[in-house]
A and B are shown apart, each in its own frame.
Chain A
Amino acid sequence: MNNRSNEPSRLNGPSRLNDPSRLNDPSRLDEPWVERAVALLDESTDALDAATLSRLNRARQAALAQRRPALTGWMIGTGFAGAALALALAFGLGQRHALSSLSVPEAIEQVGDADALASDDNLDLYENLDFYAWLDAQQQDGNG
């Protein structure tokens, strides 16, 4: 296929330009000027300037970037799910850490406040707060 590695044999052999069969076999293309032309072409690739070589390098790297695995839809979805899970875990652990960092009475007080706020009885208290204020005033008047 690519015979560059076998070049030394390419230009040896009989020389007859009007012999079409020689074109089947590069080793029979032995015109000395062809050999010189090939050498000159090789030299011309060695003489390329740095800017050109840099541009070739960038073109090659850009082309090769297509072979690197791209982010697919399921990868993106999995990433988002993972991030959400990590966030939830961090939040839960943070809450737990906040509670555990309190002193026991403070913790009980916080839990107690939460229980008090959540209790149905206290909802009644808030709804009848005016009544209890009036009752308290009556009692004070009676005492006084």
Chain B
Amino acid sequence: MMLAQSCFMNGLDRMPAAPATADESHAVERFLRETERRALRMAEFSTGNRAEALDLVQDAMFGFVRHYSARPAGEWSPLFWRVLDSRINDWHRRQRVRGRWLGWFERDDEDGDDPIAAAPDLGEPGPLARLADDEASRALELALRALPLRQRQAFLLRMWEGLDVAATAAAMRCSEGSVKTHLFRALANLRKYLEAHR
């Protein structure tokens, strides 16, 4: 299956939306309905703004339906996340151009201290264990927003959406090794951030 994923992702031929049968349309609609809420939250973590997140998700839906909905249903998930990831990246580029992007985590995204070496290997439940649900949700949201974009996407796609390494790499348009690195750093930074706020 991994090989198949790599092949279709390397090719990534865009297929125009073909006139669909009712069954196909229902399948696409079901997929989008099952995915859209997580997509919105993912975009919201990146933008910090629900209206902008809704726009990004809508753009992603349009792009996905237009170019990829004619592909086999088994390929939809990484393709949809790829489209959304692309929209989120574009949004961040625009924000950087406008000088709005400030993230203290980003400064050491690629070149900072090695978070893997610094990561604690604790047997305790973890930084969210002592927080009530509301506090934990808020702390988690703040921590996710503070993460650099690539780390956040790796964490959300891999741990929340449940994509495997190959599909996450395809969605993020990077190597599988980069996914692992981003995820390592995301886990370490999230733990560090959440421990500081508990």
Would A38 and B159 count as touching, CB distance under 8 A? Answer: yes
CB of B17 within 8 Å of the partner chain? yes
Contact A44 B54, beta carbon cutoff 8 Å:
no
Output the nearest chain B residue to A63 by Cβ-Cβ distance: B61
A66 at the binding interface (Cβ < 8 Å): yes
User: Which residues in A have their C-beta under 8 angstroms from that of B136?
Assistant: 36, 40
Q: How many residues of B contact A (CB 8 A)?
A: 66
Check B62 against A2 for contact (C-beta < 8 Å). Answer: no
Interface residues contributed by chain A, number (CB under 8 Å): 44
Q: For A53, give the chain B residue with the smallest CB separation.
A: B37
Chain A residue numbers with a CB within 8 Å of B75 are 1
Q: Which residues of B contact A34 (CB under 8 A)?
A: 126, 159, 187
B5 CB to nearest A CB, Å: 6
* CB contact list, A7-23 vs B, under 8 A: 7, 10, 15-18, 20, 23
- Tell whether, in the assembled complex, residue A26 and residue B158 are in contact, meaning their CB atoms are under 8 Å apart: yes
In the complex, what distance in Å separates the CA atom of A33 from the CA atom of B121? 12
**Bound Cα distance A45, B32 (Å):** 14
Bound state CA distance, A18 and B120, in angstroms? 8
With known contacts A3-B163, A56-B54, A62-B62, A15–B123 Cβ distance under 8 A: yes
Interface centre among A4, A24, A42, A63 (most CB of B within 10 A): A63
**Which of these, A17, A24, A43, contacts B119 with CB under 8 Å?**
A17
Complex Cα spacing A33 to B119, Å: 14
Q: Verify B58–A59 contact, CB threshold 8 A.
A: yes
Mask: chain A, 49-70; 1 = CB below 8 Å from B; 0 = not: 0001001100110111011111
Residue A129 at the B interface, CB < 8 A? no
- Which of A1, A40, A56, A70 is B57 in contact with, Cβ under 8 Å? A56
B74 touches A52 (CB 8 A): no
* Contact of B52 with A by CB under 8 A: no
Task: Kindly state whether residue B129 has any CB partner on chain A within 8 Å.
Answer: yes
* C-alpha gap A45/B69 in the complex (Å): 24
Q: Are A29 and B62 in contact (CB under 8 A)?
A: no
A107–B100 alpha-carbon span in the complex (Å) = 87
Kindly list chain A residues whose C-beta atoms are within 8 Å of the C-beta of B191: 31, 33
B residues near A62, Cβ cutoff 8 Å: 58, 61-62
Interface segment out of the listed B18-26, B84-92, B105-113: B18-26
A81 within 8 A of B: no
* A24, A41, A42: the one within 8 Å of B165 (CB): A24
Q: Are B184 and A26 in touch, CB under 8 angstroms?
A: no
A100 at the interface (CB under 8 A from B): no
Residues of A whose CB lies within 8 Å of any CB of B are: 1-7, 10, 15-18, 20, 23-24, 26, 29, 31-34, 36-38, 40-45, 48, 52, 55-56, 59-60, 62-64, 66-70
Nearest 9 A-B pairs (CB), nearest first?
A33-B126, A3-B162, A69-B19, A63-B61, A59-B58, A45-B37, A4-B162, A2-B77, A67-B20
Can you report 15 residue pairs joining A to B where beta carbons are below 8 Å apart?
A: A17-B120, A17-B187, A24-B165, A26-B164, A32-B126, A34-B187, A37-B140, A40-B128, A44-B141, A45-B40, A52-B40, A64-B65, A66-B62, A66-B65, A70-B19
